[in-house]
A and B are shown apart, each in its own frame.
Chain A
Amino acid sequence: MLVSIIQNIINALQWGSFYALIALGYTLVYGVLTLINFAHGDVFMVGAYIAFFVSTFLLTTIGLPGWVVLALCIPLTMILTSMVGVTLERIAYRPLRKKGAHRLYVVITALMCGLILENANLALLGASRKAFPPLIEVYVYNIGGVIFTNLKIAVIITAILVFLFLQWVVTKTRVGMAMQAISYDKFAVPLMGIPLDQIIVVTFVLGSGFAGLAGLLFAMSYPILDPYMGALIGWKAFIAAVVGGIGDIRGAFLGGFLLGAVEILVVAFFPSTYRDLIAFTVLLAILTWKPTGLFGIAQTTKI
């Protein structure tokens, strides 16, 4: 009994780590711009593909050993993926924002960007799935019946480190404080001499960079890539971010892990086809009970 509980907790933490890492990208951008960046799930997918190309290139063309490839792959993937995110911001979102378009038109543009990423990938690389090359030796540990791999533990630790790092960035650094300031008052911030556009770019760099990291880890854990892998997981991560309380880093992680836990639990007790149904129902129930999410501040209307 206890063994299966611990086993499920580990599985839930690992599965939730992916949601958490993606959810934080939604939350960061939303916190600063109140923009639902619907392309973010596909940025995650692009991250996984970038990781695939970088690692196959380094492995086969240059012939580096696996651990060196991994060490190089992490920063390269993060940098390249964040460039994708920033490009989207520069060419699609920013011009609309400058024109003062209705917020929802930016959201629709984000949806369209997501579609382009998905389908351009499909069109250019074809429908065949890509198999991600193994980079490190995967060890399976069995402690008293609880089975886990070094990769699973690495994923969980990475997610926690990222959380601590971002929490530090947002609360302690100048950039993070500027981000918070923007979310409070978009109009006063430029007047205070804070460069709005630069802060927004930093936000996209952080969000997309960690989506890239999530893509790499996901590809290592489940080494089959396809162009639509980001769509469903992206939607789910977004809902997780809202359940946690969008705009709050803690909320994104809590929501991510919560969703991971719900899904693992469902699969443990029901047929796996019920996973989405029950997970979404639970999330809907939470949102109906606490409409602004677990960490969200209740909206107050002043008249």
Chain B
Amino acid sequence: MLRRYSVHLILAVTGGAIITMAYQEYLSLYVMSVLMFIGVNIILSTSLNLVNGYMGEFSCGHAGFMCVGAYVSSLLGVWLFAKDKVFGTAVLNPDYALYAFPFILLAGGVAAALAGLLVAIPSYKTRGDYLAIITIAANFIIISTIENIGAIGGSRGFMGMKRLINSMEDIVDLPWMPIWVFIFTVLCVWVIRRYVSSTFGKGVSAISQDEVAAEIMSVNTNKIKTITFMLSSGLAGIAGGLFAYILGYVNPGSFNIMKSTEVLVMVYLGGMGSLSGSVLSAILFTLLLEAFRFIIPVINDFAHQIHIISPDYDISQVWRWVLIPLLLIILMQFRPEGIMGNRELGDIFPRLKKFYRFK
């Protein structure tokens, strides 16, 4: 009994604790936003792992789908429930914003899933590095398209989502963003877990291990590829929607190849085909990124104190993006299969299996 519900219990306690602390304002806004970005990054890395790890493709344009989701859910939300200079007055009464919000996010996910077809259809004929190019091109195309639509702000971006969150909080006074991020993160990992552990979803691994054998052994490879790409990009779209509402502002520049690279790093750091690895590495990577904000000034002060750098040079935050890749390169030299390899938490600590069941 305990085993059956242990994961639910842990999740409920963690979620409850975070939200209570957010409500009581024990956590600063900064800490809250880091926690929320951890959630978004978990969705991104697990969903990309579905394609890059489980299916063995090499998609490097995940941020493009995130962008579609972010824009669609932002535009839809603002159009429906907020007064804005692009759309004018709200179409619906902002009092319904709270109930409509999950559907707005899902709409973003659906739009991103449709954008995923841009990659899924070429994948019938080609795979490997050639497909990788197509994903990169898709990322550029998506960004570039949005940059060229002046009506929604073009490359300057789009804002107004904060009003929606405010009207949600007006209805029921709860920290809604952390709640939504938490719910959707859990939902995302849960759906992926169920998908890949079903016999239907094991067709994904079959494609990765031997596509010819899979097709001849009755796996409808095109269908599985379509579903997998669409699921992966759809979840990225949801992550994008959450991202947009957390920031209250989107611009196409934040979904460029650099963002895709970040997600790739999280996937390979965690280990290809390991869901718990992806979750773990998303948490670690986000924390690492934030930790450097504080570490770099310390290093700077120290370097000045022992006079190894000239007094008029400061080690700035730019060094973050030198040190983090360096750290990752070193990490990969020691663990060239990622933190978890292709194993799950339960495979590494078999005893844990006694205590949880997560399906």
Contacts and interface: CB of A to CB of B under 8 A. Distances in A.
Interface of A: 30, 34, 36, 92, 95-96, 99-102, 104-105, 107-109, 111-113, 115-116, 118-120, 122-123, 231, 235, 238-239, 242, 246, 273-274, 276-277, 280-281, 283-284, 287-288, 291-293, 301, 303
B171 interface: no
13 contacts: A30-B129, A36-B129, A36-B132, A100-B336, A102-B272, A104-B272, A109-B328, A111-B261, A116-B326, A123-B319, A277-B144, A280-B144, A291-B126
Interface stretch (B26-34, B85-93, B135-143): B135-143
Nearest to B333: A95
B325 interface: yes
Given A119-B321, A122-B318, A280 B141 contact: yes
For this complex, into which size category does the number of interface residues on chain B fall?
35 or more
Given A95-B333, A280-B144, A115 B125 contact: no
Contact of B322 (A123, A276, A277): A123
A4 to B, nearest CB: 25
B96 to A, nearest CB: 36
B148 interface: yes
Nearest to B342: A102
A105 B261 contact: no
B21 to A, nearest CB: 35
Contacts of A291: 122, 125-126, 130
A111 B145 CA distance: 25
A247 B319 CA distance: 35
B337 A116 contact: no
B71 interface: no
Given A101-B337, A276-B144, A283-B137, A109 B212 contact: no
B22 interface: no
A113 B325 contact: yes
Contacts of A92: 329
A216 B258 CA distance: 26
B54 interface: no
Contacts of B261: 111, 115
A contact face: mostly helix, strand, loop, or mixed? helix
A222 B233 CA distance: 38
Interface in B334-348: 336-338
B137 A108 contact: no
A96 B336 CA distance: 7
B174 interface: no
A33 to B, nearest CB: 12
B57 to A, nearest CB: 10
Of A96, A112, A283, A303, chain B has the most CB atoms within 10 Å of the CB of A112
Nearest to A275: B144
Interface string B99-134: 000000000000000000010011001100110111
B58 A105 contact: no
B220 interface: no
A123 B318 contact: yes
A101 B336 contact: yes
A96 B129 contact: no
Nearest to B126: A291
A270 to B, nearest CB: 10
B29 to A, nearest CB: 28
A242 B129 contact: yes
Given A108-B268, A280-B137, A280-B144, A102 B336 contact: yes
Nearest to B118: A284
A297 to B, nearest CB: 12
Q: Sort A-B residue pairs by CB-CB distance and give the 3 closest, nearest first.
A: A101-B336, A291-B126, A112-B325
A121 to B, nearest CB: 9
A111 to B, nearest CB: 5
Nearest to B143: A276
A281 B322 CA distance: 33
B333 A96 contact: yes
A287 B133 contact: yes
B337 A102 contact: yes
Contact of A238 (B133, B134, B145): B133
